[in-house]
Chains A and B, each alone.
Chain A
């Protein structure tokens, strides 16, 4: 029997059965994604360790060309590992296995950290990440790691999709009980009809462009999920050719648990 045999015929009476069958398959697919990602991670970790051993010169110094080559293995491996981890994070969020770990922190400090981490990437594209406002916002109570993850994703995307010499900025402001963070860029922009689509899993609106950028297409879906867990909102304001501004809001204090 093949999988397709098991889908009940699509008559109105069968809708419930069809929905339940599709849910089961969706869960199976998610589980498969989880298993395969874990299995990919193990040999990759071994490859990276071996390459790091060589790169550090534990068994003799490398010449410049050897070093370049071995560094390529480490960097490529790391990039692959980041993508696998993104899939695993997505799987956990799809299975509702993600909870908030709330602490008090400064949004400005998270912005500083993310900016610092992305500075080398920005420099390579001859741009600086501009920071605006932020310092006057009091501590928020939220999941610091998840907010950092969201911000890092938005800033990383902004740098990735903005051509050399463009501008990327991060701003934060507070209005009442809500903090709004903005990540803007002077990149190619996103057509209006795709403004919601990009927050769905596996969506990359311009196949030619995303191919060059090697993403999983899960970054914004994860960001959406993390912000939703905080009872916040995330959206984009953009037009083709006019850059993009991504915004997210989080309440100053976490939502009460249901």
Chain B
């Protein structure tokens, strides 16, 4: 079955670019611009991998993951993509249960490699 990737990112430009990349790589893609939207998508359509931006209009991206964990709908893997390279940010994401933290900009080759590693 085609793996389902959820892109959580408030910039439509960035979401569109990821959609082109990921659908072009053969994945099924959903997108959410807010924390709440992400949580509701995960609740009705199980997510294999989530690409998560930390800064969302309605809160911290990690809150979306926490809410999914609470309802048992967390994705198989969660990759945070952030421009913040501070080690404390990385630790905070890993402590919240994220699989990996990628520092923006992430080259498409690296992104595809990391995604393949987590969902094959």
Chain A contact residues, CB within 8 Å of chain B: 38, 41-43, 45-46, 48-50, 52-53, 56, 58-59, 81, 88, 101
Are B21 and A43 interface neighbours, CB within 8 A? no
Binds A, one of B11-19, B36-44, B60-68, B71-79: B11-19
Contact B108 A49 (CB under 8 A): yes
- Is the Cβ of B20 less than 8 Å from the Cβ of A42? no
CB atoms of A58 and B21 under 8 A apart: yes
1/0 contact string of B76-111 vs chain A (CB within 8 Å) = 000000010001000000000000000011011100
Distance in Å: Cβ of A108 to nearest Cβ of chain B? 25
What residue of chain B has the Cβ atom nearest to residue A59's Cβ? B24
Interchain CB contact under 8 A, B13 and A53: no
CB atoms of A49 and B24 under 8 A apart: no
Residues in B neighbouring A38, C-beta threshold 8 A: 83
Main secondary structure of the interface of B (DSSP, over half): helix
Q: How many Å lie between the Cα of A52 and that of B106 in the bound state?
A: 11
| Contact count A vs B, C-beta below 8 Å | 43
Name the residue on B nearest A42 (C-beta).
B11
> Whole-angstrom distance from the CB of B52 to the nearest CB of chain A?
15
Which one of B16, B24, B83, B105 contacts A58 once the chains associate, using CB atoms below 8 Å? B24
Contact B13 A43, beta carbon cutoff 8 Å: yes
Say whether B2 faces chain A, with CB atoms less than 8 Å apart.
no
A42 to B21, CA, bound (A): 17
Beyond the given A50-B17, A52-B109, please list 8 additional residue pairs across the A-B interface where CB-CB is below 8 A: A42-B13, A49-B14, A49-B21, A49-B108, A50-B20, A52-B108, A53-B24, A59-B24
With A53-B108, A58-B24 in contact, is A46–B83 under 8 Å at CB? no
Minimum CB–CB distance from B65 to chain A (whole Å) comes to 22
A-B residue pairs in contact (CB < 8 Å), sample of 6: A42-B14, A46-B11, A49-B108, A50-B17, A50-B20, A53-B17
In whole angstroms, what is the CA distance A56 to B108 when docked?
Answer: 9
| CA distance in complex: A214, B48 (Å) | 43
Bound-complex Cα distance A35 to B108 (A): 26
- Please tell me if the beta carbons of B20 and A45 are within 8 angstroms of each other in the complex: no
Residues of B within 8 A of A42 (CB): 11, 13-14
Tell me if A45 and B14 are in contact (CB < 8 A): yes
